[in-house]
Chain A
């Protein structure tokens, strides 16, 4: 049994979970929703084992390091954190329909990693040989994952808002399994309340590492700048909500924009801009 087999099982499980969640929306049967959650949980356990195994495999190859060092590993970890945050929100609030809009993000990640990225385990270049790598990557990705969950919830909000706005007669149908519109708004805020402190920690640990390794905690490198942009967007979200009463539709749109900026920070910067961060090169 190798980690890559386990990662394949993970991918298939997330696909199954996604399908079950869609079946749940269509069938409106509670047990189906629960099955979707269990499938996601199973995938999560397998993926955790796979990540641990890959970590061990890197030691077997003689240059052990946490599996967080290249694009493949970061995408896999991102999808793991998305399911982790989803599980927390699912177990706490039990709105199963959210799974149909969040698990697909994790599925995309795993499918891209398994089918499109080079999965070789490489030794760490000198710049990455630091424990700060772990603190930095873990906090950033947990933050990103919370924003992914908030984005999924916001999309649900926008769909519900649009369909109900058009004609109230349609409000049944697939929507009947969605949480109430107020609940969606609240969940969006709660997910961002998880993500914002984590992103803040991610930026701070990144700055601490940069200072430790290069002597500057901030150099306006594109990745740094984009993480700050994301931070500004969510800070604006929090303030607009509390002080200007931007809730509901506007908050949902801001949350989707925030996640788009997050994804650009994570992937776009490496694809379109150049800088210090080595993922995706």
Chain B
């Protein structure tokens, strides 16, 4: 760094050390962040249709549709980091000195800079008093360092000196979090994959559309979804097995993977995210019985198939579910939306349920009572896939941040000096935080000495 205060380099340095800049950046980040919560990020076509042509042009020029990755937002974050680093470089040496090279001697000039000072007359020679004070400070405050200067003894004792570094721990932690985020964005990826029940995959598509080879395979043995009585979903569960060279990996066989309990293998994590009916389609089981009596006939249909029923009627199953609770309150079990065509009549759409709801089922179907017995549905499971080698760095940063904040806010660097001469002791003290609280501590010490 040059010593010329007018040089360009110095001015740039000064700009980045400035605390006005930090407040500007913090408020600036707060205000600009709002934009991305109002303008839809990664906008859908429907959303774009609601905007005027001009708006779309302005928004995309300014990067509003992916605001948190726009050049100017990233620039603000880099400025914050730079500001933080410069400010710390400028201030840390002085704080470091206070912490590790304390002022050991309480001279006149230094004494004037402290607010808590008390002179006491105590009988004894300076050597006796030195020992007495050292004993006293050790038992009432903290053990003291003794220095002899100009025929007087100076004692110095301190508590929680490291708390002065708390602020720097916080600031440093922010940089660590950023580093972790960068590591994640350069060396990790986020992807998505669908696996049909019984099927397996060896690569996933990332958000940017690239295919990534996992280096192993994942098979979905089974997928199930269960519901509460209210119809709200209770659990989505995939049973997954990891395969290396086609062979199941011991310890990774039939692992239930549910929301909030992902599966991790070789640093890659699979999260239960969605599901749907697999392309194989479903088979439905129904039974048909004559209203006037007789044994029911069991039938099986595939999706979209037109079934011939006794008596010349036809039946197609349009849609079906293994559990109707989410769709029909107060009912459960399997159900289907069907289209029934009586012999020579018009198609009639209605719903059929399980055997339990005989009365419900007998409302339709002409001479027949049709019952939904069940279905075999194969699902696919939708898994989110993530690899993020930077995540531990981020957690380390978060941990340091919390520790640093506690150090900075709730711990105070308390210092006590005592100057001892024959028959007199001058006690002085200071604290980095909570001056009123420290005054009380100091007064107590003085009382005890008297």
B23 and A240 contact, CB distance less than 8 A: yes
Query: Of the candidates B26, B41, B391, which one forms a contact with A232 in the assembled complex, judged by CB atoms under 8 Å apart?
Result: B26
Q: Does B102 contact A (CB under 8 A)?
A: no
- Alpha-carbon separation in the docked complex, A235 to B33 (Å): 15
**Chain A binding site: helix, strand, loop or mixed by DSSP?**
helix
Chain A residues near B265 (CB, 8 Å)?
none
Residue of A nearest to B35 (CB): A225
A126 and B19 contact, CB distance less than 8 A: no
Chain B residues near A229 (CB, 8 Å)?
30, 33-34
CB < 8 Å A-B pair total = 108
Q: Does A127 contact B (CB under 8 A)?
A: yes
A123 and B228 contact, CB distance less than 8 A: yes
A220 and B36 contact, CB distance less than 8 A: yes
Query: Of the candidates A200, A220, A239, which one forms a contact with B19 in the assembled complex, judged by CB atoms under 8 Å apart?
Result: A239
Chain B residues near A129 (CB, 8 Å)?
259-260
Query: Of the candidates B26, B68, B235, which one forms a contact with A220 in the assembled complex, judged by CB atoms under 8 Å apart?
Result: B68
B226 → A minimal CB distance (Å)? 10
A236 and B23 contact, CB distance less than 8 A: yes
A43 → B minimal CB distance (Å)? 29
Task: Tell me the residues in window 369-398 of chain B with beta carbons closer than 8 Å to chain A beta carbons.
Answer: 384-386, 388, 391, 394-395, 398
A126 and B235 contact, CB distance less than 8 A: yes
- Alpha-carbon separation in the docked complex, A63 to B232 (Å): 13
A225 and B37 contact, CB distance less than 8 A: yes
Contact of A193 with B409 at beta-carbon distance under 8 Å, contacts A215-B385, A215-B388, A220-B68 already known: yes
B386 and A239 contact, CB distance less than 8 A: no
- Alpha-carbon separation in the docked complex, A215 to B390 (Å): 12
A225 and B23 contact, CB distance less than 8 A: no
Tally of B interface residues using CB under 8 Å: 46
- Alpha-carbon separation in the docked complex, A196 to B41 (Å): 28
A281 → B minimal CB distance (Å)? 12
- Alpha-carbon separation in the docked complex, A228 to B353 (Å): 50
Q: Which of B154-162, B281-289, B400-408 contacts A (4 or more CB under 8 A)?
A: B400-408
B271 and A214 contact, CB distance less than 8 A: yes
Q: Does B125 contact A (CB under 8 A)?
A: no
Task: Tell me the residues in window 122-139 of chain A with beta carbons closer than 8 Å to chain B beta carbons.
Answer: 122-123, 125-127, 129-130, 132
Convert B19-55 into 0s and 1s, putting 1 for each residue whose CB lies closer than 8 angstroms to a CB of A.
1101100110110011011100100000000000000
Q: Does A170 contact B (CB under 8 A)?
A: no
A62 → B minimal CB distance (Å)? 9
Chain B residues near A233 (CB, 8 Å)?
26-27, 30
Q: Does A212 contact B (CB under 8 A)?
A: yes
A207 and B398 contact, CB distance less than 8 A: yes
Residue of A nearest to B385 (CB): A215
A202 → B minimal CB distance (Å)? 11
24 CB < 8 A contacts A-B: A122-B232, A123-B230, A123-B232, A123-B234, A125-B232, A125-B233, A126-B258, A126-B260, A130-B260, A193-B410, A196-B405, A196-B409, A197-B402, A197-B409, A204-B398, A213-B271, A217-B391, A229-B30, A232-B30, A239-B23, A243-B19, A244-B20, A244-B23, A269-B37
Contacts A214-B384, A235-B26 given; 14 further ones with Cβ under 8 A? A126-B235, A129-B260, A197-B402, A204-B398, A211-B391, A216-B388, A222-B37, A228-B33, A229-B30, A229-B33, A232-B27, A236-B27, A236-B30, A239-B22
- A: residues with CB less than 8 A from B are 63, 122-123, 125-127, 129-130, 132, 193, 196-197, 200-201, 204, 207-208, 211-218, 220, 222, 225-226, 228-229, 232-233, 235-236, 239-240, 243-244, 261, 269, 273
